[in-house]
Amino acid sequence: MGYRVVQWSTGNVGRHAIAGIDARGDLDLAGVWVSSDAKDGKDAGELAGLGRELGVAATTDADALLALRPDCIVHTAMADHRIGEAIEDLCRFLRAGVNVVSSGPVFLQYPDGTAPPDFVDPIREAAAEGGTSLWVNGIDPGFANDSLALALTGISERINEVRCLEILDYSTYDNAQVLFDIMGFGRPMDEVPMLLQPGVLSLAWGSVVRQLAAGLDVTLDEVTERSERLPAPETFEIDSGTIPARTAAALRFEVRGMRGGRSVVVLEHVTRLRPDLAPEWPQPAGQGCYRVVVSGEPNYTVDLQLLGTDGDHNTAGLKATAMRLVNAIPAVIAAPPGLLTALDLPPVTGRGLVQLP
């Protein structure tokens, strides 16, 4: 018997998490929570698109799943638009004696100096009460700008700046709520989307620059943000819908950790809905990539290219988020109770995942 795991949601990330849990010999899928009646009772294998049944039926009954007393919950339910409710859910799990790995809210990746105490204190209190741990991570915020970036700094003599970039075409990312409502794509250029409201970028990705700074033993003076957008030259279609001409179709932003009047740690995103947009902005390696640039002595650039077996880089990004959580389950269960960060865990590897002949 392996660790008993419950998967919480079966959306873009959750369905990949189910496949990842099934792939590990040290994890047993004990249950699956879904939010819709249409998915209630369906087999987990069907919801994950595995082409076979896993013998675990999804349910909308949260109490029944907690009554199973699983060792860990993989929480991948959308949190960006329901932060309060997501925190309540996480506290409930922790208080019930269940460890949690979660894809959000993303500021919990490293909340110190970023998130209000009202968001963080209840999590820490619930973890202490339940004797459990919570680890929030993914690909970005997550592996691409914590473990990958910090590992690269370990071969430096001197560091002037660490810059982590996401350079992706989001046209095949099928999530209208994120693209239109949160990021503002397809909306008039004079309309400020939720993501670009004052302070939101720093709340979402300030955790990245502060964690990197902590890993490098740097005390930041402040965290600043800046952004720019470009319009669609004509109307075109993406997987999530229509992008009308002259509405937002490309976005570039930076969240910068400042010390002594200059940036020392930077999180930058370059997001396009077509590869020909904003050709002067940083271009990806391959179809899409996460890039770490360490400026100093010497200078380093590492590109993490993404490509799913279906040929889509966005599929690979979603799977990377899910696998970052699933593969960390044993380490999170073994960790002391509390709100964990990437600085608290040992290296998370693909132990047991090699397909042997």
How far is residue 340's CA from residue 43's CA, in Å, rounded to a whole number?
A: 32
Per-residue model confidence as pLDDT tens digits over 268-327: 999 999 999 999 999 999 999 999 999 999 999 999 999 999 999 999 999 999 999 999
pLDDT at 132 over 80: yes
Those residues whose C-beta lies under 8 Å from the C-beta of residue 194, and which sit 6 or more positions away, are: 81, 181, 182, 184, 200
Burial of 333 (0-12, 13-18, 19+ CB in 10 A): middle
Question: Is the predicted pLDDT of residue 78 greater than 90, yes or no?
Answer: no
Mean pLDDT of 135-150: 96
pTM above 0.85, yes or no: yes
Q: What is the pLDDT of residue 339?
A: 98
CB atoms within 10 A of CB 316: 21
CB 47 within 8 A of CB 58: yes
Is residue 81 predicted with pLDDT exceeding 80? no
Residue 80: predicted pLDDT: 74
pLDDT per residue as tens digits for the range 222-253: 999 999 999 999 999 999 999 999 999 999 99
Cα 283 vs. chain centroid, distance in angstroms?
22
The C-alpha angle 226, 232, 233, rounded to 5 degrees, equals 130
189 vs 241: CA distance, rounded Å = 18
Domain limits, the chain: 3-137+328-340, 143-311
Range name among 43-52, 72-81, 91-100 with the lowest pLDDT average: 72-81
Q: Where do we find the tokens 């820490």? A: 124
List the CATH code of the domain at 143-311. Answer: 3.30.360
Report the DSSP beta bridge partners of residue 236.
243
pLDDT tier at 256, thresholds 50, 70, 90: very high
Q: For domain 3-137+328-340, give its CATH number from 3.10.290.10, 3.40.50.300, 2.30.30.700, 3.40.50.720.
A: 3.40.50.720
Cα–Cα distance measured from residue 202 to residue 110, given in angstroms and rounded to the nearest whole number: 12
pLDDT at 146: 96
